[in-house]
Amino acid sequence: MLADAHFLGTSATTSASVRPPLAIGSLSLDGRAILAPMSGVTDVGMRRIARRFGASLVVSEMVASDDYVRGDEETRVRAEGEGVAPHVVQIAGCDPYWMGEAAKLAEASGAAMVDINMGCPAKRVTGGYAGSALMLDLDHALSLVRATVGAVQIPVTLKMRLGWDDASLNAPELARRAEAEGVQLVTVHGRTRMQFYKGRADWAAIRAVRAAISIPLIANGDCETAQDARAMLAASGADGVMIGRAALGRPWLIGDIARALDALPGCTPNDAERAGAAVEHLDTLIDLMGPLAGLRHARKHLAAYADHALRGDVSRASERLRLVTTDNPTEARSLLASFFDIEHTAAVAA
């Protein structure tokens, strides 16, 4: 257990412009912008980089509670937290026993916090009565919360949607009951499950959750800029923002937004620093999964890094295609670094 821990990163300051730290139980964060948990995306490489560049908190990919406890290797990799502090593991499931056991394992493995997923809209998750499907049965959802909170000493948080559909916007009730069970922070994605990721997130609808709870509230959905983040906070009444898809290919974005929310000077990395981070991310995945599996897992990241680095330059489309199809790690590193207009050797050394 990491009791009374105080985690300060690159955005910490004594400036009077900074609001009091956002506290989650015993944890005190250094900002108000969090990297969202995203399956297949927020691997440990991305989380390390995002945290280093100033993200206030980063959360693992969602892990199935029963697979995690049984020692499934792929699930273990998703929950990996080496080099990340504070380390947060997001767990999902529909059985109180497995949720409690998964929380215990996360704590024993060094997690400083456990997040419960009640927001994933994917059919493979909701079909097993997990993720956002739990919002259809709040009594059962609360049994999972109770088991998780009761299993550990570290803070437990909860991520949800507005509801299953427009006819059941029950996020305020779920959040209120979860707080009563000991949950110490709630994150709300401003869409229903039935919306998936269509349309725009309704930030104002999150305000009903703010009125229902006294613990910290995080708003999630369609935050891409500091201007978006300010608008989210104003509309929702939330204490912080969670950034997901917009961070793909630019994990430094969360730190930029965190600093902007606290009126601190920006420090967006230059091209050399971005190249170094992108190559580091690729190498982390190769080290973790092996050359072929790591490279293939990295492809979504490689494509996104390239797209942001090229800034719309279509003249290098053939090189980008090679980057996302090659099975040669050396070629991938060289191509990736080249998109940032610096020498490959400098990227590797960064």
Do 104 and 247 belong together in one domain? Answer: yes
| Mean pLDDT along residues 190-195 | 97
CA distances, 72 to each of 65, 69, 78, 206, 262 (Å)? 10, 8, 10, 36, 41
Do 199 and 304 belong together in one domain? Answer: no
Establish whether 120 is a catalytic residue: yes
Q: What pLDDT band is residue 265 in, cutting at 50, 70 and 90?
A: confident
Is a pLDDT exceeding 70 seen at residue 137?
yes
| Mean pLDDT along residues 204-213 | 98
Do 155 and 302 belong together in one domain? Answer: no
Edge-first strand listing for the sheet containing 88-92: 57-58, 33-35, 240-243, 217-220, 186-189, 156-161, 113-118, 88-92, 62-64
Neighbouring-strand partners of residue 6? 28
Catalytic residue chosen out of the listed positions 94, 120, 223, 267 = 120
Whichever domain contains 169, its CATH number is 3.20.20.70
Report the domain count for the chain: 2
Is a pLDDT exceeding 80 seen at residue 17?
no
Residues of the domain holding 286: 271-349
Do 43 and 181 belong together in one domain? Answer: yes
Last residue in a domain, options 210, 229, 261: 261
| Mean pLDDT along residues 144-154 | 98
Is a pLDDT exceeding 70 seen at residue 49?
yes
Q: Among 4-8, 81-85, 213-217, which stretch is predicted with the lowest mean pLDDT? A: 4-8
Task: Give this prediction's pTM.
Answer: 0.91
For residue 211, the model assigns a pLDDT of 98
For residue 100, the model assigns a pLDDT of 98
Do 223 and 333 belong together in one domain? Answer: no
Report whether 92 contacts 117 (CB < 8 A).
yes
For residue 227, the model assigns a pLDDT of 97
Does residue 121 have a cis peptide bond before it, meaning omega lies within 30 degrees of 0?
no
Do 236 and 213 belong together in one domain? Answer: yes
The pLDDT > 90 percentage for the chain reads: 86
d(CA 9, CA 33): 12
- The radius of gyration computed from the CA coordinates of the chain, to the nearest angstrom, equals 20
Domain-located, residue 299? yes
Report whether 276 contacts 347 (CB < 8 A).
yes
3-state percent helix, strand, coil for the chain, nearest multiple of 5: 50, 10, 40
Domain-located, residue 37? yes
| Mean pLDDT along residues 284-302 | 97
Domain-located, residue 16? no
Q: What is the per-residue pLDDT across 50-67, written as a single tens digit (0 to 9) for each?
A: 999 999 999 999 999 999
For residue 267, the model assigns a pLDDT of 79
Do 229 and 291 belong together in one domain? Answer: no
For residue 84, the model assigns a pLDDT of 97
Q: Among 103-107, 129-133, 267-271, 329-333, which stretch is predicted with the lowest mean pLDDT? A: 267-271
For residue 311, the model assigns a pLDDT of 86
